[in-house]
């Protein structure tokens, strides 16, 4: 896991960039994650996430305008860090939705977000992005300002607690295997 340049980065004509992300995001409270398994040759590939027994991730689904994710490198006297960010819309302003937003804002260790991108890469290794895996994301704002029962929510790294790396990707051996892994995070393990 060296920090030296080791290979060229060339434009891939077979998998050109595609902007945006799909309308689903999975949020997992960091406090329930017991282990994150990384690929042995690339620390930016997550091969597994283990949750406490009985815990699961929570799916947020949009309606065509759910998401916008980012990571931004910064350098200061403490070194190089990455601010992860994710903005999305929650459609509805019911008491249940407001209670969940309040709980999300009060997660002490923040959340890890898993977002499916439109861009998948040639083998599907870029389909799922993981934000906040090391330090978590915190609610920066949650505002219902449009008068349409729509909450605009921003999850970002906390100042001073930015991530040590850019976004990671979840990937196993194929896109299908990866989707099974991600979907399993939505089901509570009661064993």
Residue 10 lies in a domain: no
Residue 191 lies in a domain: no
Enumerate the β-bridge partners of residue 163: 82
Query: Coil, strand or helix: which one is 47?
Result: strand
Domain that holds residue 176: 26-184
Number of domains in the chain: 1
Residue 145 lies in a domain: yes
Task: Judge contact between 168 and 44, C-beta under 8 A.
Answer: yes
Distance in angstroms (rounded) separating the CA atoms of residues 179 and 172:
9
Going by C-alpha positions, the residue among 85, 89, 77, 79 that lies closest to residue 23 is 89
Task: Give the model confidence (pLDDT) of 69-103 as tens digits.
Answer: 788 899 988 889 999 998 888 888 889 988 999 99
Residue 20 lies in a domain: no
Task: Judge contact between 105 and 139, C-beta under 8 A.
Answer: yes
Distance in angstroms (rounded) separating the CA atoms of residues 20 and 23:
10
Residue 94 lies in a domain: yes
Distance in angstroms (rounded) separating the CA atoms of residues 63 and 22:
10
pTM: 0.85
Residue 190 lies in a domain: no
For 180, list phi and psi in degrees, rounded to 5.
-60, -45
Give the percent of the chain with pLDDT over 70: 83
Residue 15 lies in a domain: no
Statement: residue 135 has pLDDT above 90:
yes
**DSSP classification of residue 4:** S
Helix (H) or strand (E) holding 179: helix 175-184
What mean pLDDT is reported for the chain? Answer: 85
């Amino acid at each position: 896991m060296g920090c030296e340049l080791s290979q060229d980065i060339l434009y891939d004509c077979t998998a050109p960039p595609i902007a945006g992300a799909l309308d689903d995001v999975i949020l997992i409270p960091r406090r329930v994650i017991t282990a994150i398994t990384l690929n042995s040759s690339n620390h930016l590939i997550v091969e597994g996430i283990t949750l406490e027994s009985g815990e699961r991730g929570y799916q947020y689904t949009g309606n065509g305008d759910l998401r916008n994710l980012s990571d931004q490198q910064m350098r200061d006297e403490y070194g190089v860090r990455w601010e992860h960010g994710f903005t999305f819309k929650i459609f509805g302003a019911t008491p249940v939705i407001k209670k969940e937003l309040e709980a999300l804002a009060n997660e002490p260790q923040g959340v890890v977000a898993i977002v499916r991108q439109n861009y998948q890469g040639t083998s599907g290794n870029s389909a799922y992005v993981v934000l906040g895996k090391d330090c978590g994301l915190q609610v920066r704002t949650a505002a219902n300002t449009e008068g349409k029962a729509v909450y605009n929510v921003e999850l970002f790294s906390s100042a001073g607690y930015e991530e040590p790396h850019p976004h990671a990707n979840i990937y196993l051996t194929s896109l299908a295997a990866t989707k099974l892994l991600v979907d399993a995070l939505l089901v509570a393990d009661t064993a």
